[in-house]
Amino acid sequence: MIGGGQIGGTLALLITQKALGDVVLVDRPELEGPMRGKALDLMALRPHGGHDVAIRGSGDYAAIGGADLVIVTAGLPRKPGMDREDLLDTNLRIVRQVAQQVRQHAPDAFVILTTNPLDAMVYAFHHYSGLPPQRLAGMAGALDSGRFRSFIAMETGLSVADVSALVIGGHGPSMIPLTRTATVGGIPLADLLTAEQIRSIVARTREAGTEIVQLLGNGSAFYSPAAAAVEMAEACLRDRKRVIPAAALCRGEYGVDGLFLGVPCVIGSGGVERVIEFQLTPEERALFDATTERVRATVAALRL
């Protein structure tokens, strides 16, 4: 884990509890003490679940040497009143440094990044690290789809385990929660909820991160982002060929070339093994074009 704050710490906890692998929590050199403290705390948690993995903390990027997987959460989170785009310049400097260090110490890793503004930060990470694009994915679609699924379960009163729903596009208000393909137990959403209920779920999904930022008052969501990143990590480490939306480099898919954008991906040991393309309706296409333009504008504002 690079970044051992709210998301990084939760990631280390979830990965330990799933015994997915040994963990190194890396943060800025001045935070080596707190990282070692968190690691020691997690080491002491292991006997309660019998998880035979090792957790270390460090202030030195070299500690990630030889990692199979790197999850980057380094960067500032939002405060109330901020857009994700407001973090652009500060987080770009951080991502630049981290990308160079990952290239040096773990060039063969699959990298999952959560730093916002997500789609532009993955683009920048790719630019600075030179990693093959299939070894790099931004975590956003998994989280946004999870929020969408959670709201559907809340509104229908049905089990979240039976909700299947997908969000594509950029990680921000222009994201596209796809209502047409959403189902509960195989039944189309439109047969379970009214158009008004569905409209309100879509709106809440788009602003779910902001709703949490406003409520927390200091920082942004971390439990669900960590859980979503772990789902992607597990898909890679266990070569599961999961279909998970993620910010992947589009090279012609959906008519987009050269941008990282939320699209359905097959995630396995090869990283992002494939982007799955499917037919959008004209209405979905228009929304996709709008979200692409939004991400393109943010990427254009990067001072790389």
> CA angle, 237 as apex, 233 and 240 as ends, to 5°?
90
When binding is defined by CB under 6 A, the residue of 14, 71, 74, 137 that contacts ligand APR is 74
Residue 248 near residue 263, CB atoms below 8 Å: yes
Is 171 labeled as catalytic in the residue annotation?
A: yes
Residue 114 interacting with ligand APR (CB under 6 A): yes
Least distance from C-beta 221 to ligand APR, angstroms?
7
254: which residues sit within 8 A by CB, 6+ positions away? Answer: 261, 263, 277, 280, 288, 292
- Using CB under 6 A as the binding criterion, the count of chain residues that bind ligand APR stands at 28
User: How buried is 251 (Cβ within 10 angstroms: 0-12 exposed, 13-18 middle, 19+ buried)?
Assistant: exposed
The residue range among 145-153, 159-167, 214-222, 227-235 that interacts with ligand APR, by the rule CB under 6 A, is 214-222
Could you say which of 28, 199, 238, 285 contacts ligand APR (CB under 6 A)? 28
Q: Rule CB under 6 A: is residue 105 a binding residue for ligand APR?
A: no
Q: Minimal distance in Å, beta carbon 55 to ligand APR? A: 16
Catalytic residue among 51, 105, 126, 171: 171
Q: What is the per-residue binding string for ligand APR in 220-249, x denoting contact by CB under 6 A?
A: x-x--x------------------------
117 preceded by a cis bond (ω within 30 of 0): yes
Asked if residue 245 lies in contact with residue 145, where contact means CB atoms within 8 angstroms, the answer is yes
User: Residues with Cβ < 8 Å from 258, sequence gap 6 or more?
Assistant: 249, 250, 251
Pick from 73, 129, 179, 224: which binds ligand APR (CB under 6 A)?
Answer: 73
Please name the helix (run of DSSP H) or strand (run of DSSP E) that holds residue 170, with its range, or none.
none
Q: Which is nearer to ligand APR, 140 or 184 (CB)?
A: 140
Q: Are 27 and 8 in contact (CB under 8 A)?
A: yes
In angstroms, rounded to a whole number, what is the distance separating the alpha carbons of residues 8 and 179? Answer: 32
Q: Which is nearer to ligand APR, 123 or 254 (CB)?
A: 123
Taking the least distance from each CB to ligand APR, the nearer of 91 and 156 is 91
- Tokens 């050199």 belong to residue: 29
Verify binding: residue 58, ligand APR, rule CB under 6 A: no
Active-site positions read 171
Residues making contact with ligand APR (CB under 6 A) = 2-8, 27-28, 31, 73-78, 87, 91, 94, 97-98, 114-116, 219-220, 222, 225
